[in-house]
Structure 1
């Protein structure tokens, strides 16, 4: 067996991260693998802000991405371009992050490369999509599960779904985070906030993230503290902003991509609401845990598998109203956050997560060599 792997990461807009969770993972993991001596390649959109051919030891391959011209459908062409390029390069492993816009091209995947797919969340459950799109996403998930040589699930809930739905085993490897050890209250000044006298939502403004449930529960409460909502104001967000414009406590402040500022805001919040109900290990949840936030989470298997006993759970807006009015859970902040920080250090630390990925991929190659010998 070879000492080093030649591996490609496909399915993101590229590194360094300027978009989202998969891009952040791609950045951390690719640099980690390059530092370990592996030959690592990451596919970037042609118009990614970073235009150099290498990044901290990682090879960057830019491929044409027409999304800027034609919208979401451009992702399918971008993935096709990446796959066609990968056919020329003799990779040992292609680590595919997600399947939505690449699975239809599965028959073009390089035959000699081992295809490992991180199956992402249950995209077809997202209510923001029209029925026809959701039907396609479920079909794409089926393709991804069946054509990949190996599957990775970033939550136990996704792992169970893949086994029950497709009779496919998968390797559970969660997402990662880094503990936020030096909070700085200066960030609060620009939002006119006081320490532990505001609550926080940080999410894409989509129905499946229970944004309206959280707001409605807060509006019915007696709290005088503001609820700060970070997220791009899409059509759904604008409707909510209009609906609740007369409540001075509900503040839509738009997006913020400065992780240091967000960590500080999480740290000093009284309650941090995590309404995500679809998907695997959500990056923003781990980041909230790593920032010492006291978390009120939607009651579902994805959140429970990560937070376990160290959170308060809700199923309805009335439960949120009761939590805010009683305000008794704030006394549990030290106890809950201490254990959540311990989880980050022992289970979800980036070095641990990257190490699990590396070991899994090395074992994949070992299996191939054993089967061929």
Structure 2
């Protein structure tokens, strides 16, 4: 199949979950014989035309000049380019700045949209923006040929809200099997003697709540915070809380470093409260992290009883004062790792995605062309 992927800032990943998703599935689909094209922002540091067999299509992105409005123009440029590519399938990841252009997608290509989380619930947005995002969600849900939900909760929501089926295909992760303690030296930390938080600096990730819980606890563990602090919220947090025990490391994209920091942490805080199956949560599970997660249906649907949960800064202080130790909760770590191996492996995710694509093609072509694709493969 000829597959175009739209909706990310591009690969290799320098931003977030969808980018990591594409970085993992793109080369895997190429190895299976498919022709894959990924749209990259012109602002992406990687300017090559090919990456691990994936074709990279750079499109003008004026976000650095226009702010959020630039995202709409970037998505428009990607969609206009897709009209001349003759894709079998366009995989649209998210909808916030692209579904407004739904009428411009090429009619001959199947449009399959991963609906992401409930974007209109994000507290960083004004009431006006939230209203727009509800409309954008509706446009994407009703005008896409097929929908993907990365969480059972999102799948149920889409069925209830729009009476439309979505295919449940989560994100993936790989078990981390090569820890290297030497990585810790550059950060001057010791294994199992620090706690960790990895997230984009956004209010709905409950970062300030986690920091306050640490600050107010009697047991003063070091808290390492990984995430870019260039936005207004991130700058405020760093200025207010940076100290000898609350350490902002900035953005880190090197997966080896991230995996080792997760692996050797004592506690790992996951504050995400809006969205489906969060990639950073799966990566924490795959790195043997002992997780304390925000108590919501998304996190509980993945972790079940294999984590601790918080709803307030006081919950965090109490757990820190209990001096939870990773070594005392090995069964939780093992259960999470087994779940990664059997439910969230990238091989399984790629298998599901490819099968879903083939089924969509079969339904589109009554002549049997898509069936021939399957038989040939």
* TM-score grouping bracket, smaller chain normalisation: over 0.9
State the Cα deviation string for residues 333-364 of structure 1 (Å, max 9, x = none): 31111111111111111111111100010011
SS in 1 for 2:336: helix
Q: Distance in 2 between matches of 1:177 and 1:128?
A: 28
- Output aligned runs, 1:114-193, within 5 Å: 114-193=110-189
Q: Distance in 2 between matches of 1:186 and 1:156?
A: 39
**RMSD, aligned α-carbons:** 1.8
Which position in structure 1 is the counterpart of 2:232? 235
Q: Which of these residues, 4, 8, 21, is aligned with residue 8 of structure 1?
A: 4
Which position in structure 1 is the counterpart of 2:101? 105
Q: Distance in 2 between matches of 1:252 and 1:227?
A: 8
Which position in structure 2 is the counterpart of 1:277? 273
Q: In the alignment, is residue 74 of structure 1 matched against residue 73 of structure 2?
A: no
Q: Distance in 2 between matches of 1:170 and 1:291?
A: 30
Which position in structure 1 is the counterpart of 2:18? 22
Q: Distance in 1 between matches of 2:280 and 2:204?
A: 15
SS in 1 for 2:285: helix
Query: Higher mean Cα deviation, 123-132 or 236-245?
Result: 236-245
Which position in structure 2 is the counterpart of 1:48? 44
Q: Distance in 2 between matches of 1:190 and 1:56?
A: 30
Return closer, same or farther for 1:60/1:240 CA change in 2, 3 Å cut-off: closer
CA contact (8 A) 2:13 2:253 kept: no
Return closer, same or farther for 1:312/1:371 CA change in 2, 3 Å cut-off: farther
CA contact (8 A) 1:183 1:264 kept: yes
- Output aligned runs, 1:318-337, within 5 Å: 318-328=314-324, 330-337=326-333
Question: Shift of the alpha carbon at 1:249?
Answer: 2.1
SS in 2 for 1:111: coil
Return closer, same or farther for 1:347/1:116 CA change in 2, 3 Å cut-off: same
Q: Which of these residues, 51, 61, 64, is aligned with residue 57 of structure 2?
A: 61
Return closer, same or farther for 1:65/1:319 CA change in 2, 3 Å cut-off: same
Query: Higher mean Cα deviation, 188-197 or 234-243?
Result: 234-243
Question: Shift of the alpha carbon at 1:29?
Answer: 1.4
Q: Which of these residues, 90, 98, 115, is aligned with residue 94 of structure 1?
A: 90
Query: Higher mean Cα deviation, 216-225 or 284-293?
Result: 216-225
Which position in structure 2 is the counterpart of 1:254? 250
CA contact (8 A) 1:294 1:336 kept: yes
Give structure 1 stretches of 5+ with no counterpart.
none
CA contact (8 A) 1:323 1:329 kept: no
CA contact (8 A) 2:227 2:249 kept: yes
Question: Shift of the alpha carbon at 1:238?
Answer: 2.9
Question: Shift of the alpha carbon at 1:151?
Answer: 0.4
CA contact (8 A) 2:219 2:323 kept: no
Question: Shift of the alpha carbon at 1:266?
Answer: 0.8
Give structure 2 stretches of 5+ with no counterpart.
370-377
SS in 1 for 2:108: coil
Return closer, same or farther for 1:320/1:52 CA change in 2, 3 Å cut-off: closer
State the Cα deviation string for residues 267-290 of structure 1 (Å, max 9, x = none): 111110001000111111111111
State the Cα deviation string for residues 227-263 of structure 1 (Å, max 9, x = none): 1112222322333334335x64222222222211111
Q: In the alignment, is residue 317 of structure 1 matched against residue 313 of structure 2?
A: yes
Q: Which of these residues, 209, 212, 221, is aligned with residue 217 of structure 2?
A: 221
TM-score (norm 1): 0.94
List, as ranges, runs of 4+ consecutive aligned residues in structure 1 with deviation greater than 6 Å. Answer: none
- Output aligned runs, 1:358-369, within 5 Å: 358-369=354-365
Query: Higher mean Cα deviation, 285-294 or 69-78?
Result: 69-78
Question: Shift of the alpha carbon at 1:76?
Answer: 1.0
Query: Higher mean Cα deviation, 61-70 or 264-273?
Result: 61-70
SS in 2 for 1:44: strand
